[in-house]
A and B are shown apart, each in its own frame.
Chain A
Amino acid sequence: MTVTSATSVSAAIRRSGGRGMALGAGLVVLALLPLAAGASPYLLGLLISALILSGLALSWALLGNLGGMVSFGHAAFFGVGSYASALLAAKLGVPVLLAIPLGGVIATLSSLAMLPALRLSGPYFALAILAYAQIFRILATELDWLTGGAAGLQRYPGLPTLFGINLADRAGSYVLVLACVALFALVYVVLRKSHIGTALRAISDSEDATRVVGVNATLLKSWMLFLSAFIAGVFGALNAHIIGFLEPDYAFSGIWSVMPIIAAVFGGYRSVLGPIFGAVVIYLFDQVIAKSLIPVGHQILLGILLAVMVLLAPNGLSGLVARIFSKTAEKHHAGA
């Protein structure tokens, strides 16, 4: 089931061009990973968390690559999405599979408050969005009539059974999260190929020149912010229903801001597959290797990794791979 859904997606992507091939192949690899993991519940759980992070890293990279904005506060969208979905399901009885996209919608609504920040560029935007993440965390703690405050939320529904697949068990959750990652990766690819993608590339080269030829740069950037917030919110919501417990310090934790940056930069934030695989590699490295080497302070290894990547390979692993491929292609060319 996992494989067929992923291959049909990859077939759809293949029609949209050569890069789609790599994306399709990548998703197939992700679909096969649980088989390699031997379906051990522990490993499968790790892989689910890794894929959640993949989605979050994808949303961060979309904002960074297409929108040209660095966010140090994606925890805001992630947290809002998780709380909104859990509360909708628990208090209003909204079906979980509807509550999850609604969580994304509410995360998008929360990003409306950040629109004024779009006027700011570079570090000012980055820090404004960090401020929002802090504000949302404090609000989630203080509004305890709604969120349960610092004690957190526990009694809300988990994932249901759909078409005979129990989404609440680990294999089911994995399929659902992977399907969401694939869906948003597809949206990203289509968007990047569209006129909007071209306009956004032009903006990142010269915003002023692009405005002169009649592109509403602020509007396009705000659409990227909305889409990024929506994706982050959806993965926050998925995570909330999978783990079944929320508290402000967890849902709005700085981890959700830091990890997507490291994952996307490591994998290559200018590609689609880079953030997705970057997240899987980084998360497994952090949880399996770093944590056993250095129980407290294991993030130091991630920090070193991030610094080394920015300095030596700013286009990430996917950039390195692309460079190796183009070199071998050149050799072939020279030989022929």
Chain B
Amino acid sequence: MTELILQALFSGVLIGGVYALVALGLALAFGAMRIINLAHGELVLLAAYMAYLVESRTGLDPYFAIPLALVVVGAASWALFLLVDKIQDHRELNSLILTFAIGIILTNAILLIFASDMRTTSSPALQDAVSLGDVFAMRGEIIAFVLSVVLMGVLWWWLKSSWYGRAVRAVSSNRNAARLMGINPARIETVSFLVAGALAAFAGVALYTMSVVQPATGHALTVKAFIITVLAGVGSIPGVFLGAVLLGVTEALTVTLASSALQELAGMVLFLLVLFLLPNGLFGARARRG
């Protein structure tokens, strides 16, 4: 039993890495424009299907799909930004509906092109079991986790040290003050959406190598990313990572101890508990929601 629980904890942490990438993309776009991009999970899904496309057509390792995914998802994210930017009035409400609509379009486009079958990598190297002491993982899971942690490090450095990264933080904390300092918010919003798209591209390819994807996965990912945002607040990268790991572990433990049918329920219950009991998130982010 202990072994099973340990294994569940381990798998939960590994998938948490990818969840964190998805949630960070959502948080970046939210920080810049104060809108929740309900199509973010579908952008991740798009990247996962690019990986499937490259692997099934060329027989190459799915990681070779990263450049293609970056271009396609980056372009999609940019197009999405341009559309959201066109909204004039009732911005919060209409942007929710618009991104929701784009999510429906992407999901169904993927359904039309790739059918509803579940897809995952066919590479034996990625599916090999690796043992670390008492627990096991697929090699793909380990690589995806390491990739996620490295990307989080890069993002952290970018936001902390680069001019653009600091401008992104400035715009999300006070748009008008940032404008007075000579930052063009429209440009920073574009950059935020491009970086969010890049994160989605990596997350999607990583997801494909460690888990299964199908058209409905996109919507579920958006919800998960949102849950993590609520758990962690939108403030910090380590907070988002911890929130993501917590969600991953909760899901994995539910599957191990109860049933896989309850996996989604566990995340939702966790979400509602935190939302009602700890309205500032687990880590007390100061941003007020509402």
A residues lining the B interface (CB < 8 Å): 64, 70, 72, 116-117, 119-124, 126-128, 130-132, 134-135, 138, 141-142, 254, 258, 261-262, 265, 294, 296-300, 302-304, 306-307, 310-311, 314
CB–CB A134/B105 < 8 A: no
Establish whether residues A300 and B275, one from each chain, have CB atoms under 8 Å apart when the complex forms: no
Query: Which residues on B sit within 8 Å (CB–CB) of A116?
Result: 275-276
Partner of B104, one of A117, A127, A299, A310: A299
B residues with a Cβ closer than 8 A to A are 35-36, 83, 86-90, 92-94, 96-98, 100-105, 107-109, 111-112, 115-116, 219, 223, 226-227, 230, 261-262, 264-265, 268-269, 271-272, 275-276, 279, 289-290
A contact residues around B93 at 8 Å (CB)? 64, 70, 122
Closest CB pairs A-B (n = 10): A303-B104, A300-B108, A306-B101, A303-B105, A123-B36, A307-B101, A121-B290, A297-B108, A297-B112, A131-B268
Contact call A70/B290, Cβ cutoff below 8 A? no
Q: Which residues of B contact A300 (CB under 8 A)?
A: 104-105, 108-109, 111-112
Known: A122-B290, A303-B108. A135 touches B269 (CB 8 A): yes
How far is B90's CA from A303's CA once the two chains are assembled, in angstroms?
20
Instruction: Kindly state the separation between the CA atoms of A126 and B87 in the bound complex, as whole angstroms.
Output: 19
Smallest beta-carbon distance B31→chain A, Å? 13
CB pair A120–B109 under 8 Å, yes or no, is no
B77 to chain A minimum Cβ distance, whole angstroms, is 15
A122 B108 Cβ-Cβ under 8 A: no
B108 x A128 contact (CB < 8 A) = no
> How distant is B19 from chain A, measured CB to nearest CB, in Å?
16
Say whether A142 contacts B272, CB under 8 Å.
Answer: no
Docked complex Cα distance between A33 and B197 (Å)? 47
Given contacts A119-B290, A142-B261, contact A261 B112 (CB under 8 A): no
User: Which residues of chain A are within 8 angstroms of B92 by Cβ–Cβ distance?
Assistant: 122-123
- Complex Cα distance A127/B220, Å? 12
Structural contact, A296 and B111, CB atoms closer than 8 A: yes
Chain B hits for A262, CB < 8 A: 101
Least Cβ–Cβ distance between B118 and chain A, in angstroms: 16
